[in-house]
């Protein structure tokens, strides 16, 4: 399971991914294996699009997606 791949220090990883600092977000994302990157992107999209997340979490997830957007395939869209 991909969720188990992000085990070295998941709290620190998510702190970096949700930091709203583009360089931290990009570095944390780049440190992940492709399967982990897919999991993280899916989770970030869910945080932005699904109800139930705290507004600050949604803002952080959106900032992460924006920071990563220049490295993502264009067919993923930006409706978030």
pLDDT band at 7 (very low <50, low <70, confident <90, very high): low
- Specify the pLDDT at position 21: 96
pTM, two decimal places: 0.80
Distances (CA, A) of 51 to 3, 33, 57: 22, 28, 11
d(CA 80, CA 74): 14
- Specify the pLDDT at position 27: 93
Alpha-carbon distance of 21 to 53, in angstroms, equals: 20
DSSP state of 7: -
pLDDT per position as a tens digit, 32-60: 999 999 999 999 999 999 999 999 999 99
């Amino acid at each position: 399971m991909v969720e188990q791949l992000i085990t070295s220090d998941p709290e620190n990883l998510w702190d970096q991914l949700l930091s709203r600092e583009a360089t931290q977000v990009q570095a944390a994302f780049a440190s992940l294996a492709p399967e982990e990157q897919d999991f993280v992107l899916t989770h970030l999209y869910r945080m932005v699009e699904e109800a139930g997340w705290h507004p600050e979490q949604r803002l952080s997830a959106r900032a992460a997606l924006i920071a990563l957007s220049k490295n993502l395939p264009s067919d993923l869209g930006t409706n978030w």
